[in-house]
Structure 1
């Protein structure tokens, strides 16, 4: 596999030189937590499409990125109102793939939230079977900017003129080296959504327990349990710092997600920067609504990835 520059932070369109012929379009879903300004730089010519994931608050259905649902979702979570999520329809993916074909692309790489947490990849596969343009559907086995980093690598590889197999390979290898660690003040939303499995049996319903969780093998799994929120956040920092220290110097890249607690996320990012001085400043962003609906208010998530170029 050819080597090419990989993104170390949200990549500006001007920083991604186009090959003479860009053969592969990239499609993803809004669980990738990509920065809106970054997305807009690549969508005009069809190189990237982000399919919104639906969130239902009460009886109203909102599309991530299409509707401003942050305040509505925050109020619903705070009040205990009904919040549900769903996968995009196969028809939405079919439209995205046909649009790529109309733009003149020869193939599509479609990168999606872990199939252990959502049926989104299945919907993409159903759509891929309906179109004539070849589509490589990738189960990211992760969420948030861990998925997003793979999408960024895919966009850069496609801009370099790589074919679908190579684009998929770059994305998968970057995502395989990316970890997700997070703290939630309460397991209630994860329990309601059926997203915790083993974590639920480990932590039970003990309200004093503050869990630190991770995404492993595409599933949410428990790492540790502590007795206070302050200790949970401190321990999250320690886990991230240890992960960073285990990676090649100068390679780790960090992202911090939050929902309803931006100032806390900014403070966490500042402390992580002090503990990881060789890392660029962590990217800070709200957790996508489709993920926040399950994690709940006050979530803090840290993604640890690398900027190194994947090779065979």
Structure 2
């Protein structure tokens, strides 16, 4: 067989890619103010929870991770498991994953993607492609680590309320200011969501994000991911603009951020991620 790959639902990989590449996914969770719990990617989550003031989120739990790793180990027929999860600095998922891996006696290696969203998804896909090419468990692990280290991810949000409530932005959050008109460009830096730039209008922020993506891509072959929170029309427009300006695009993917991530960034958010070293996504 080949090395088996596991990720969590914050990767935002569509079911078609998960199924095609036999990637196992463990859910993140959210709980409404009346105590109803939903497992992302398993349960149908009401679309209006993203705007709720009293919804809480939690990472993948230990039981789900243990079951996924055991299933992946069996599927690998002894070749091993590589688990690629969201940044340890954003969630307890990575810590739970390490505990689950310790019970597998060295059969599972856990990668801190240092990211979340489709950046995690592209790192997971890099691992899956390396596994399908016949790489050993350690070689697949190293491929994922390199992909995580080189990925670039930026996000424009439309409102600041969700960010302030979430606590998922770094200590530089005070730079966002108090004016409701501020439209920040955020990016992943050392595993944290941090402020890159701030602008007065969404149009200006998105234009600057696109300029940065084009500059970062340069002449390299890149996979472009666009992610959004309940804003598919804007996501399509962003993808069209960035692909028109980037010379060497290997493939593209557009995904919704889903409920768990959406609660933290708010409706209307849109972002661009660049992944390097991937074969075309199928």
Q: Deviations over 1:175-202 (max 9, x none)?
A: 2111110100112112111111324211
**TM alignment of 1:5-154, pairs within 5 A:** 21-22=1-2, 24-43=3-22, 48-58=23-33, 59-69=35-45, 72=46, 74-78=47-51, 80-103=52-75, 104-132=77-105, 134-154=107-127
Between stretches 201-210 and 221-230, larger displacement belongs to: 201-210
> Residues 56-95 of structure 1, C-alpha deviation per residue, up to 9 Å, x if partnerless?
23322111110222xx2x42333x4312110111111111
Larger CA deviation: 152-161 vs 264-273: 152-161
Show CA shifts across 1:147-175 (max 9, x none).
11121121122222222110101111112
SS of match in other structure, 1:241: helix
Shift of 1:281: 5.7
Indicate how the Cα distance of structure 1 residues 308 and 126 shifts in structure 2: closer, same or farther if over 3 A, else same: closer
Partner of 1:6: none
* Aligned pairs (5 A) from 1:239-278: 239-245=212-218, 247-248=219-220, 251-278=221-248
- Whether the aligned pair in 2 keeps the contact of 1:106 and 1:133 (CA below 8 Å) is no
| Distance in 1 of aligned mates of 2:101 and 2:278 | 31
Tell me the distance in 1 between the aligned counterparts of 2:274 and 2:176.
25
Gaps of 5+ in 1: 1-20
Partners of 2:4 and 2:97 in 1: CA distance: 14
**Given the superposition, is the C-alpha separation of residues 259 and 164 from structure 1 closer, same or farther in structure 2, using an over 3 Å criterion?**
same
For structure 2, which runs of at least 5 residues remain unmatched after alignment?
none
Instruction: Give TM-score, length-normalised by structure 2.
Output: 0.92
The 5 Å alignment of 1:131-210 reads 131-132=104-105, 134-210=107-183
Q: Quick one: which of 188, 196, 206 aligns to 1:223?
A: 196
RMSD: 1.7
Q: Find out whether 1:292 has 2:262 as its counterpart.
A: yes
Matched residues, number: 277
Quote the Cα distance in structure 1 between the aligned partners of 2:105 and 2:20: 27
Please report the TM-score for the alignment, with normalisation by the length of structure 1: 0.84
For residues 85 and 118 of structure 2, the distance between their equivalents in structure 1, rounded to whole angstroms, comes to: 12
Contact 2:184 2:205 in 1 (8 A): yes
